[in-house]
Amino acid sequence: MLDARRDFLAHCRLELGLSANTLAAYENDLAKAYAGLAALGLTIEEVGPDEIGRLLAWLRDERQHAGTSLGRALVSLRMYARWLVAEKFMPRDRIGLARLPKQWIELPEVLSVAEVESLLLSPPDGAMHARDRCALELLYATGGRASEVAGLGVADLREGGRLVRLRGKGDKERMVPLGEPARRALRRYLTELRPTLATTASGDALLLSPRGRPMTRQALWKLVQVAGALAGIQRPLYTHLLRHSFATHLIAGGADLRAVQELLGHANLSTTQRYTHVDAARLRDVHRRFHPRA
């Protein structure tokens, strides 16, 4: 069914408007799932809840997939199966009946508020200090994905920098407010550094490289790594960790779950709800460590 998989990916790109990164993830997930089905002697037409359990176990044990990878693989298969039925490649969809075992769902890592503060105050010294400080502040202040923050344009700043427009998955737009620390870092960068970096190649891009080109997702990832090391944070860091922390800190502070969903650009509330589990886990840990009868 290789041709069917290609047609499915074309459908996702042309009709659903999914990003190149999402398409690549679906293609990779389906390739691994088909490898697992072949190893188990199964075809996709035979797959139901029991077979999904065997497939996920194979991916976990033979390919060392983590819980998040298993969940994504199942989501990809569900979408593909629905499309196969709609296009009459398959008579019925039994994959949609399968549910991800709870023990394989992993809660996202988060930074403490103190760790975030330390990270934001630790951009490397040098000519790009103002840009780096601005980029770090934007990642945490907006809760944006690295691709969304890297893709910001000057025109995406609204109301004097009080609001920023982010473009998420499927090119969906959302408005996110900026707090005063992020606005200060933004004003300094726009006033002192960006005019010296801008060239004809810059276009409207907000965050620029030393050569005046738009800052990349990879450069943002490297910046978070370097700033984390300078801040003395002794664990692996990545850009999405600031997004996880943004959501968890909002919920811990009493923010409405649906408001957080809108700020994150999640299509489903269930995706946002996992951050309530993170906060509950933190509260249980505090209770266990400090309550005299825990």
pTM higher than the cut 0.85: no
Both tokens of residue 150?
Answer: 């890297």
Residues of the chain with pLDDT under 50: 103
Question: Out of 188, 240, 277, 282, which one is annotated catalytic?
Answer: 240
pLDDT of residue 140: 97
The pLDDT, as a whole number, for residue 36 is 87
Of 167, 194, 243, 244, which one is the catalytic site residue?
A: 243
pLDDT at position 14 is: 84
The answer to whether 102 is a known catalytic residue is no
Note the CATH architecture for domain 113-287: Orthogonal Bundle (1.10)
Catalytic residue flag (residue 145): yes
pLDDT score at 154: 96
User: So what's the pLDDT on residue 280?
Assistant: 64
Catalytic residue (choose from 32, 145, 167, 244): 145
Catalytic residue chosen out of the listed positions 169, 184, 274, 277:
169
Question: How confident is the model over 16-31, as pLDDT tens digits?
Answer: 888 888 888 889 989 9
Q: Which residue, 111, 31, 34, 74, is CA-closest to 278?
A: 111
Based on the residue annotation, tell me whether 266 is a catalytic residue of this protein. Answer: yes
Write out the residue limits of the CATH 1.10.443.10 domain(s) in the chain: 113-287
Annotated catalytic residue within 54, 184, 266, 274: 266
240 is catalytic: yes
CATH 1.10.150.130 in the chain, residues?
Answer: 2-102
pLDDT at 41: 87
For residue 107, the model assigns a pLDDT of 61
243 assigned to active site? yes
pLDDT number for residue 281: 64
Q: Would you say domain 2-102 falls under CATH 1.10.340.70?
A: no
Residue 134: the pLDDT is: 97
The tens digit of pLDDT for each residue in 218-241 reads 999 999 999 999 999 988 888 989
